[in-house]
A and B are shown apart, each in its own frame.
Chain A
Amino acid sequence: MRQRKIIHVDMDAFYAAVEQRDNPALRGKPVIVGGDPSSRGVVATCSYEARAFGIHSAMSSARAYQLCPHAAFVRPRFDAYRAVSLQIRELFHEYTDIVEPLSLDEAFLDVTENKPGIEYASHVAREILQKIFQRTRLTASAGVSYNKFLAKVASDVKKPAGLTVVTPEQAEEFIAMMPIRRFHGVGRVTEKRMLARGIVNGSDLRQCSLEDLQRWFGKSGQYYYDIARGVDRRAVVPNRVRKSIGKETTMDEDCADKGEMILVLDKLAKKVEALLSARNTSGLTLTLKVKYDDFQNVTRSLTQLEPIENAETMLSLAEKMLDRTEAGIRPVRLLGLTISNLTTDIPVDETAQMELPFHLN
């Protein structure tokens, strides 16, 4: 199989950096985004200034307060983070459509084939980091390698605003020097048990036989064995997301009465509004679809600066667009309304099952 070229992009101290960008008073100061120190909340992200005090994510906010009482505690603003996340994902798609977002601030990109046709993945990564900064005034770090595991570890090497490349030739040495806690999938307990067996870094891990690793760590043994050799066959799997949400209806009889068409559009707008609100989303573009009695289809679109989410707005835009068609002059058999340029990611295979809110404060 051909060698893959994979980039892992990770925004630096993402939530905290957005807060510092949007509020100059927070710049250069320890900023903790997360729960209130008086609550049972935890730190979601903290700025590099706060990390100097030993604060890290997932620590209780109360503990963070003890370590650094003068830090600014900020409640998360997910809308702002999501907006940036959309911006950077759009940027990724200028290079490749094989983008696997891991969270709002982290993604794998497979740039083996990339849209601009750039030969070196490291050049792609460099460009992406520069453009992220130009467009968002935020910094990110990237890791470039031939598999996901190495790319992910590499992105963490020179944080913040760092770029680390691990070529197949460098992989062995890179892994050998790596402390085992940095291996993805080695938690605190496993780390302790590895250290107890004298496994301190990748080189030690590589000395272990598959049998021993399985004996000591069970099923994970195979994984540790592989990654110690730089083997990770997982592909970058793009999260396929819905591009639009809409509804259309075929009239009982072909219709040439614009008033009647507007009544139909009003019903459609209300249905689309319900579909959007059920998914807690909105979109910037509304498209009207008209099918004439001879089955010819036309569409008209309008893009707004503010996200469209309510039926009233949709109807007034739809009426304007209807005037730009021959509806009424020619009889119409079908009308449809669709919202696109969605402001949130809606998975294609939308499992409507919601998640228990373990992560909300």
Chain B
Amino acid sequence: MHFTVEKDILLKGLSRVQAIVEKRNTIPVLSNVLIEGADGELQLTATDLEVGMRSVYPANIKKPGKITVAAKKIYEIIKELPDREISFNVKENSWIELKCGKAQFNIVGLSADEFPHFPQPDKANFLQLSSKLCKEMIEKTLFAVSHDESKYNLNGIYCCVRPETNYLRMVATDGHRLSLIDKEIESVSSDELKQGLILPRKGIMELKKLAEESDSELLIGFMDNNAVVSKQQTVIIMRLVDGEFPDYERVIPKTNEHRADIAVDPLLHALRRMIILSSEKSRGVKMTFKENQLVVSSSNPELGDAREELDVDYVGPELEVGFNARYLLDILQVQDQDQIQLFLKDHVSPGLLKPAQEDGYLAVVMPMRL
């Protein structure tokens, strides 16, 4: 294979696949990127067998072919090359000769035969999703995904379509808090989404990047145990999480009668101040609700204590409840509205948070014992 390509194009393509490539892998070829050239197009593919990505870029293909090469190394090299056209030439025994200006590299490649098969999705049954909407839904749920690998069924976002509706739902929980969003989409004929499925965190992060790149539509489909997402010249394929998502609806409080209406910004800033003196491990802050007043406080035996008063709308009995400030900040940071409602029952039951104007979002946070 021999092709020439602008540095910027190749660099962009290689930088996109860096997050996919597995750092510690027992299969050597997986730390490589597959580079294929044919019909005036350059195709870059990377996979860790959980998440794969393939993108197509324009290039001047002088001789078609394919090769794999260490993804990190080639990226480092291309990054440092001058802003000129690069010549990429595969020689005998999988050696790659790179030329750019007066610089020349000879790099060890690995035959493309070793590289795992990347399925060609059939886009007939794909559903369309606006990039903007997808990004919003992921942003509002991703933070609640569990990092505990032993809770593998919580290591992703649960996606489903509400029965008899066109509402797409995303839910994430780590067992301590839960974040849920419903948004109307155009039409759904996917049986997989009707049944519900779990997208893995790593795949979600790539999907989010893809959604952020431009406003054009995303196409999402499912095949075997994979979700396939495509947008313009890029395809992402991710293995669905093999597990059952817990019965999350059961932990969404329905009878929390004590409601506080709180301005998002002042609370966000107060929490950022109070968290400084909270215990580093638990991040607990105390929230004391009195008539039209909320006192947020924290204390640390080694450092001292802090408190801040906020004006809120609250008429219930005096209520004292501990929360992990980090969990509340995660929720507040993704709000678009100025006001949020917190529904509480007591200091040991889950608290429910919703934006003041119903917009399909809710969060549930379990208190802490302080």
Binding site for B on A (CB under 8 A): 40, 187, 189-190, 193, 210-211, 214-215, 218-219, 222, 278-279, 351-358
Contact A187 B366 (CB under 8 A): no
24 inter-chain pairs at a CB distance below 8 angstroms, sorted by A residue, are: A40-B250, A187-B242, A187-B244, A189-B225, A189-B243, A210-B26, A211-B27, A215-B27, A218-B48, A218-B50, A219-B50, A278-B369, A352-B284, A353-B324, A353-B366, A354-B348, A355-B366, A356-B177, A356-B251, A356-B350, A357-B251, A358-B246, A358-B247, A358-B251
Contact residues in B for A40 (Cβ distance below 8 Å):
250
Tell me the bound Cα distance from A355 to B239 in angstroms.
Answer: 28
Give min CB distance, B116 to chain A, whole Å: 6
Residues of A contacting B248 in the complex (Cβ-Cβ under 8 angstroms): 358
Known contacts: A190-B242, A352-B368. The answer to whether A358 contacts B49 by CB under 8 A is: no
Inside 8 A of A351's CB, which chain B residues have their CB? 281-282
What are the 3 tightest A-B residue pairs by CB atom distance, in nearest-first order? Answer: A352-B369, A189-B242, A352-B368
User: Closest CB of chain B to A359's CB: distance in Å?
Assistant: 9
Q: Would you call B50 and A354 a contact (CB within 8 A)?
A: no
Q: A193-B225, A211-B27, A222-B26 are in contact. Are A352 and B370 (CB under 8 A)?
A: yes
Give every chain A residue within 8 A of B369 (Cβ-Cβ). 278-279, 352, 354
Question: Is B364 positioned at the interface, with any CB of A under 8 Å from its CB?
Answer: yes
Cα A99 to Cα B322 in complex, Å, equals: 32
Contact B239 A352 (CB under 8 A): no
Chain A residue, CB-CB nearest to B282 = A352
Contacts of B322 in A (CB 8 A): 352
On B, residues with C-beta under 8 Å from A are: 26-27, 48-50, 116, 173, 175-178, 225, 239, 242-244, 246-248, 250-251, 281-282, 284, 322, 324, 348, 350, 364, 366-370
Minimum CB–CB distance for A305 against chain B, Å:
28
Task: Kindly list chain B residues whose C-beta atoms are within 8 Å of the C-beta of A357.
Answer: 250-251, 350
Main secondary structure on B side of the interface with A: loop
Q: Which residues of B contact A356 (CB under 8 A)?
A: 173, 175-178, 251, 350, 364, 366
| Set of chain B residues within 8 Å of A210, measured between Cβ atoms | 26
Which of B116, B247, B367 is close to A354, meaning CB atoms less than 8 Å apart? B367
Q: Which residues of A contact B116 (CB under 8 A)?
A: 215
Complex Cα spacing A193 to B226, Å: 13
Q: Shortest distance in angstroms between A148's beta carbon and chain B's nearest beta carbon?
A: 13
With contacts A187-B243, A352-B282 taken as known, whether A358 is within 8 angstroms of B366 at the C-beta atoms is no
Q: Do B368 and A354 touch (CB < 8 A)?
A: yes
B26 close to A214 (CB less than 8 A): yes
Are B49 and A215 closer than 8 Å at their CB atoms?
yes
Measured between beta carbons, the chain B residues less than 8 angstroms from A193 are: 225
